[in-house]
A and B are shown apart, each in its own frame.
Chain A
């Protein structure tokens, strides 16, 4: 905490402050920043490098490639993804690719569905006044938001039974429905803020121009809300991609997603570190890239609504 307080001082605007003290403040700030950078990056670095290590390098805790140990495609070979195995046939790779495809299809499908349902509801809630029985707008919004507190365990077992009856067990569609449900409140929250920020005069101008309610929404308002939609979409994507609990319970062979595959490897195979590391790296890589390149959308998605 002592570090963070020194961060608060607008140092530059204080020419009277002693030079040494200012320097010390700067050093402490950067030390803290670098320390946390290390904490954030080391596990990722460790995982990526371990996927290139052999057993000896793992047990002797070698850390730096080419200095400590000779990197080798070991972990990636066991997944069938190293250069020499890439063009051969590999059952490990086939399995990995099918899990990867499942993850992509379920997370993108659920995010899209949630975005469509959520944007519509959010626009309605931000523009019109509803009255369903005793429920007004705020109650309806609360009804949607309250889904957020529902822990997955409450739904998991009923869904297991229901999906069995509906023949949706172990299907991607079944997972998509559940994931949509778990991100829908967040999408509604983000999008309602987004629509609230668009002046209602635009809708009115559209009505004057002869557009209907839906015409105004689709042609005028929706294009303006695209940044918010991107944010909501990426955030849902992150949540769906990483979801494990439902996938573990409701999928067995066909629709298994990547996290389930990662988890099942940790359980059964003992310590096959290089292949685990390669698998983990492959599982986190897409989102690490998303994080690096689309960071500002994630931040803007997270910060809407939290400000009040």
Chain B
């Protein structure tokens, strides 16, 4: 894409002037037509080959990918030829758009199709159409509903993370020495891979027999410090680990918000005789509300993807108590190789997420407007 751009670059020294000559337009249209034809031809050959209608074809579908790439480049060049300056402008957006269509939109649509199949990758039968069979199976799958219930817990727990992060951000914005040191240290957990964290904390620090945390808990009087044995304790432990990794993110954004807050506002509250607690609730917190809502929504979006810690520490146990939807679907695939069913579950989850976020965004808009 870069190449085609620098070529056209020289053709147009005066932007936004001259109308493109008819000839160039025709050439552009011809390129699009030719490229589309070529792409469809390759596609057709490969489809016929796969279905067994013709012998000629490619061993895998990779040529389709290359054909798509060529088509995209041709389309971009043609845009410049046809629409001149406006085409050049479109060139900024087109690469990202084509990429997203190829890597998100197409697989998602394809996923909807897979979701209607009964497809076990490890069996030799191959896919079988089952329509809404997977959905019916889902309604009877108590593990899935259980995982959804757990997601509610994990999502609500974001509020706890937020409270701690806010406290830390306030600490860091106080007049302290070695602020940079503390900031770097507080940020560090965010850099660590959740998989490494699930070993570092989940499998060794919290280990029942000789993990330091268990030793400490015994010392403090908890006789049987099993962090992953009872459902609630396991859920809390998983949540604590996830919080450890993700609190820095919330903290940094709140800290930026605090530092952007005008000093005078605080001093005015001081003059009015507000004490620390009052000036927090009546001044700082309301001013920080928009930032807070933004960061909470981002955090919830990421929380809904939570999987790696659960997969690696408890694998959903005990009895599905710590399962997230993602980790459950991961197991559906790993244990049963059931692509169709897993995708159907994921699609339902996606719909639920979209519904939840739409409601949240609406609510947040209303809240911030009322305050402002």
The interface of chain A, by Cβ under 8 A from chain B, is: 1, 3-12, 29-30, 32-33, 36-37, 39-44, 46-47, 50, 58-61, 63, 116-118, 120-121, 123-125, 128, 130, 132, 140, 143-144, 147-162, 165-168, 177-178, 180-181, 184, 188, 207, 210, 212-215, 217, 238, 241-242, 244-245, 248-249, 258-260, 262-263, 266, 273, 276-277, 280, 283-284, 287-288, 290-292, 295, 298-299, 302-303, 306-308
Task: State the CA gap A230–B194 with chains docked (Å).
Answer: 23
User: Can you list 14 pairs linking A and B with CB atoms under 8 Å apart?
Assistant: A8-B276, A8-B279, A39-B244, A43-B205, A60-B210, A153-B326, A214-B5, A214-B88, A242-B193, A245-B307, A266-B199, A273-B204, A280-B200, A283-B193
Shortest Cβ distance from A239 into chain B, in angstroms? 10
Contact of B196 among A144, A262, A273 (CB under 8 A): A262
Closest to B254 in A: A306
**Is B114 positioned at the interface, with any CB of A under 8 Å from its CB?**
yes
Task: State the CA gap A128–B294 with chains docked (Å).
Answer: 26
A144 touches B62 (CB 8 A): no
A157 touches B326 (CB 8 A): no
A153 touches B96 (CB 8 A): no
A63 touches B110 (CB 8 A): no
Task: State the CA gap A287–B191 with chains docked (Å).
Answer: 6
B5 touches A149 (CB 8 A): no
A244 touches B308 (CB 8 A): yes
A43 contacts across to B, CB distance below 8 A = 189, 197, 200-201, 205, 244
B171 touches A299 (CB 8 A): no
Q: By DSSP majority rule, is chain A's interface helix, strand, loop, or mixed?
A: helix
B345 contacts across to A, CB distance below 8 A = 153
Contact of A263 among B205, B312, B329 (CB under 8 A): B312
A242 touches B171 (CB 8 A): no
A284 touches B193 (CB 8 A): yes
B199 contacts across to A, CB distance below 8 A = 262, 266, 276, 280
Shortest Cβ distance from A109 into chain B, in angstroms? 14
Closest to B163 in A: A1
Of A156, A158, A245, most buried by chain B (CB within 10 Å of CB) is A158
B5 contacts across to A, CB distance below 8 A = 214
Decide yes or no: A149 and B353 within 8 Å by CB, A61-B215, A262-B199, A263-B195 being known contacts. yes
Task: State the CA gap A159–B353 with chains docked (Å).
Answer: 20
A41 touches B339 (CB 8 A): no
A242 touches B107 (CB 8 A): no
A308 touches B290 (CB 8 A): yes
Closest to B59 in A: A167
**Is B239 positioned at the interface, with any CB of A under 8 Å from its CB?**
no
Shortest Cβ distance from A210 into chain B, in angstroms? 6
**Is B256 positioned at the interface, with any CB of A under 8 Å from its CB?**
yes
Decide yes or no: A59 and B209 within 8 Å by CB, A162-B107, A213-B89, A306-B253 being known contacts. yes
B108 touches A158 (CB 8 A): yes
Decide yes or no: A238 and B191 within 8 Å by CB, A11-B175, A213-B15, A303-B256 being known contacts. yes
A260 contacts across to B, CB distance below 8 A = 195
B191 touches A307 (CB 8 A): no
A303 touches B167 (CB 8 A): no
A212 contacts across to B, CB distance below 8 A = 9, 12-13, 15, 88
Task: State the CA gap A260–B8 with chains docked (Å).
Answer: 44
B192 touches A284 (CB 8 A): yes
Closest to B106 in A: A162
A123 contacts across to B, CB distance below 8 A = 92
Interface flags, B325-336, vs A, CB<8A=1, else 0: 110011001000
A181 touches B185 (CB 8 A): no
Contact of B253 among A124, A143, A302 (CB under 8 A): A302
A291 touches B184 (CB 8 A): yes
**Is B166 positioned at the interface, with any CB of A under 8 Å from its CB?**
yes
B330 contacts across to A, CB distance below 8 A = 153, 156, 245, 248-249
A157 contacts across to B, CB distance below 8 A = 111, 114, 329, 333, 339, 342-343, 346
**Is B304 positioned at the interface, with any CB of A under 8 Å from its CB?**
yes
B307 touches A152 (CB 8 A): yes
Task: State the CA gap A148–B303 with chains docked (Å).
Answer: 12
A153 touches B252 (CB 8 A): no
**Is B365 positioned at the interface, with any CB of A under 8 Å from its CB?**
no
Shortest Cβ distance from B287 into chain A, in angstroms? 12
B194 touches A244 (CB 8 A): yes
Question: B25-33, B37-45, B97-105, B223-231: which one contacts chain A?
Answer: B97-105
6 residue pairs, one from A and one from B, having the closest CB atoms: A124-B92, A303-B256, A7-B174, A121-B96, A242-B193, A158-B111
